[in-house]
Structure 1
């Protein structure tokens, strides 16, 4: 084995999701992106705080999507950052656990964004 990366598989929304993550998440950038002639993403690499994530638009249509049981855990320094990121990621989305002190950290939130990707946001 030479590498291991999380992989986000979208159905026609990969480009929009990449743009959203770069605009919303600090220290996030697209490392590479190969678009198909129809505008969908054949393959992309995204870096979020140094974590490289691969992503694409699935060529075949399928009946499954993202599940909250797999999420990306974002550690931040300031509890206010939890609130800001949770607010931004939860627009037109689902809040699984609103920003609060749940006893295991100063501030924590869990949201499933409008693309179905789940994010745990934590200020230790």
Structure 2
């Protein structure tokens, strides 16, 4: 079984995925707009260049998403996408990049389980948790 996040955006999917690709060192492997698809005839003209489906690989993990029609969009709530980061420096880099023009809910800090942990909502409205765990022998 695979379990992959599928993020819905309010018209910003392409910009978000290009940002995530750079931030996470991933690779966008698919970016399908409505224009040119079998759905083009049913799509309002102002929505033709919005993304019907995006797919990005980050190592062996996948992140997928799309633009949600404006009349159906709801801001994400009740979940966070968690990133397990290997080093405190990388956790700080990614946290700071995601926090730019976003909202920090919990600053990145050391906790009893993590060398660094923080929570934020990025500029695209996606909630994230950044977690750089302590080695098992030093966790409380």
Into which bin does the TM-score normalised by the smaller protein fall? 0.7 to 0.9
- 1:123 aligns with 132
The one of 85, 93, 106 equivalent to 2:94 is 85
Q: Secondary structure at the match of 1:106?
A: strand
Deviates more, 1:71-80 or 1:58-67: 58-67
The one of 26, 33, 50 equivalent to 1:40 is 50
Stretches of structure 2 lacking an aligned partner (at least 5 in a row): 36-47, 134-140
Structure with the higher fraction of residues in strand conformation: 1
- 1:74 aligns with 83
TM-score by length of 1: 0.86
TM-score by length of 2: 0.77
- 1:59 aligns with 69
Q: CA deviation at 1:116?
A: 1.1
Does the Cα contact within 8 Å between 1:24 and 1:88 map onto a contact in 2? yes
- Greater Rg, structure 1 or structure 2? 2
Task: Say how many residue pairs are matched.
Answer: 121
1:3-18 aligned within 5 A: 4-18=3-17
- 1:81 to 1:3, Cα distance in 2 relative to 1, 3 A: closer
- 1:103 aligns with 112
Stretches of structure 1 lacking an aligned partner (at least 5 in a row): none
Structure with the higher fraction of residues in helix conformation: 2
